[in-house]
Amino acid sequence: MTLATLRLRGAVRSLAARPRWLLTATALLAGAMYGGYRLVATGVHWLLDYPLIGSIAPAVIQRSLEALFLMLMAAVLFSVLIASIGILYGSDDLELLLGQPVSSARVFTMKTAELFVNAAALPLLFTLPVLVAVGHAMDANVLFYPVSIAATVSLFALPVTFGALLALVLVRVSPAGRVREVATAASIVAAAAAVFGFRLLRPEKLATINALGPQEFEATLAAFTRIEIGWLPPAWATSSSWAALTGELHPSLVALLLTGAAGLTLTGILAHFAYARGWVRSLDSAPAPRMVAPAQPLWERALLSWFGSIGACLVKDGRSFSRDVQQWSQVLVLFALAAVYFVSLAAIPLPNQQARDVIGAVNIGFVGFMLAGVALRMAYPSVSLEGRSYWLSRVNPVRQRDLVAAKFLFILPVMLALGLGLGLAARFVLDLSPILAVAVPLAAASSAVATTGLAVGVGAAHPKFDSTNPNELVMTPGAIGFMTLAIGYAAAVAVLLIRPAWTAIRFPDVSGYWGSGEGLLILASLLLLTVVVTLLPLLHGANRLHAGEH
């Protein structure tokens, strides 16, 4: 039995053990994919049928596909860099695997495949409906489907290969005794750098809107079609898919496949020599420094006396967080993301108030989606991060409700700071009209609270205390279920705020809207929705945790 078969069999069995949950998660995912398909198909049809731009519509679609590939490849690279050290060197099963008479390169290959699933599976799942929609709407040749899927898989394999290579090198060059910490920190700094790198491509050029008239709109789209990124692999994936629409095979497919194969071969060769040694090196820890017994700090005593076991959990989580490079370094990445977001918003040339308000309104949905992605990494695994030490919370007088509440309260300030930061950045940078100046930060803050509650709650309802590394958790059915629900919440908030956004775009000078009956009703609905989406999952998660045997 191969290692991959063994792993696959384990995954299938763990899914089969929870058929009802699997069915729900599959249904939610299928629903989201179908929704994506319908949305893209409608958009493509609209572009193709639009009278003025019919002639350049295919080019616009091609460039949009290219932009999507570029963004998703950047997202995969980002995830890979964050997860690579954890998966390739931090997995608990490595001790067993590398202790067997199995080539270390094989183990590395399996772990790299795991890295691929971890970082690229979700982007792949969300790309598939886009490809099918484009193919269907454009009456594609049957060759389009296998070629575009192969091109996408090869494209996403490139950052995974790069991440694995970087991990191999980092572990070899990091100082002995602190290999894992330094390599993880370096890898995450590289992830932040990748985000800045993507920023240097100046994506706001794609969003330049000179005016809202049809002629100018066409001119903008025409300019968009002339943007060239031919030297980047996303362009290769687009060209090969595009040629396959008419049944042709483009040489860029070969280039993509060859680059991928070359990367994999190089990584395999390096892994053969360096992986097992690197892993052994990563196990060496520096001799523990003799520390002076510190008195219990005042803030710790205060938390304990005010919040009881919730306070005790907060203190313990705070200490673990501040000492675990894999956890605290994610905050650096968040700051990098927020900074990039801020700079990008400021760089978009928007000629008038209407254009600024349109971007502000779009920002409501975008921030919700972004916060969901952050919560998936930071909040969803929080209960599972108790790991094998979870027994301590079970045998001691800790209410599971308190444990879940502590996780929520611990993550909330970070999420709230990020959400409010993004919302307020949009409000001031875009100089939004009065209605949106309230709606945008409010929606961002609500999303921060709700997605944190949803993530912690769903994570508590579906804990995985025996995961070989925390990065595994983001690809579990529970995590997919959370993402689907979080996107649903973001969509619900966007729908709820469509009317005020539309009012703001049409009448930018209107003030006092939020004091009107309609405004108050929308605010109350948003508050109710947020409270329900926050509290119900938390309670459900705590009850499931209490009832479970872990």
Partner 1 sequence: MLEISNLTKRYGRHTAIDDLTLAARPGEVLALLGPNGAGKTTTIRCAVGLATPNSGYITVAGHDTRRNPLAAKRAIGFVPDRAWFYPKVSARELLRYIAGVRRVSEADAEISQLLERFRIDRYADNLTESYSHGMRQRLAFCAALVGKPGLLITDEPMVGLDVHGHREVKRLFRELAGGGRTVVLTTHTLSVAEEVADRIALVNNGRLIALGTMDELRLQTRRDDANLEDLFIHLTGPDDAATSGEPP
* Footprint on this chain of partner 1 (rule: CB under 8 A): 285, 288-296, 300, 304, 308-309, 311-313, 315-316, 319-320, 323-324, 386-389, 391-399, 547, 549-550
Tell me how far, at minimum, the Cβ of 154 lies from partner 1, in Å: 38
DSSP code at position 438: H
Distance, CA of 256 to CA of 258 (rounded, Å): 6
Contact 315, 304 (CB under 8 A): yes
Tell me how far, at minimum, the Cβ of 402 lies from partner 1, in Å: 8
Contact 349, 436 (CB under 8 A): no
If the CB atoms of residues 294 and 517 are measured against partner 1, the closer one turns out to be 294
If the CB atoms of residues 235 and 325 are measured against partner 1, the closer one turns out to be 325
Provide the CB-side half-sphere exposure for 482 (13 A, CA).
36
Give the DSSP per-residue string, 258-269: HHHHHHHHHHHH
If the CB atoms of residues 46 and 391 are measured against partner 1, the closer one turns out to be 391
Instruction: Classify residue 128 by burial, with Cβ atoms within 10 Å: 0-12, 13-18, 19+.
Output: middle
Secondary structure (3-state) at 58: helix
If the CB atoms of residues 287 and 517 are measured against partner 1, the closer one turns out to be 287
Tell me how far, at minimum, the Cβ of 300 lies from partner 1, in Å: 8
- Inter-axis angle of helices 477-496 and 434-461, to 10 degrees? 160
Contact 212, 353 (CB under 8 A): no
Distance, CA of 192 to CA of 74 (rounded, Å): 11
Chain-centre distance of CA 9, in angstroms? 27
In the block, which residue shows the tokens 């390739």? Answer: 88
Tell me how far, at minimum, the Cβ of 349 lies from partner 1, in Å: 47
Tell me how far, at minimum, the Cβ of 79 lies from partner 1, in Å: 23
What value, to the nearest 5°, has the Cα angle with vertex 249 and ends 244 and 254?
120
If the CB atoms of residues 45 and 178 are measured against partner 1, the closer one turns out to be 178
- Inter-axis angle of helices 57-89 and 233-245, to 10 degrees? 130
Tell me how far, at minimum, the Cβ of 56 lies from partner 1, in Å: 56
If the CB atoms of residues 51 and 397 are measured against partner 1, the closer one turns out to be 397
If the CB atoms of residues 213 and 289 are measured against partner 1, the closer one turns out to be 289
Distance, CA of 136 to CA of 88 (rounded, Å): 39
Tell me how far, at minimum, the Cβ of 291 lies from partner 1, in Å: 4
If the CB atoms of residues 108 and 279 are measured against partner 1, the closer one turns out to be 279
Tell me how far, at minimum, the Cβ of 319 lies from partner 1, in Å: 5
If the CB atoms of residues 178 and 316 are measured against partner 1, the closer one turns out to be 316
Tell me how far, at minimum, the Cβ of 9 lies from partner 1, in Å: 20
57 CB-near residues (< 8 Å, 6+ apart):
47, 48, 50
- Among 145, 128, 133, 125, which Cα is nearest to 241's? 145
235 CB-near residues (< 8 Å, 6+ apart):
66, 228, 229, 252
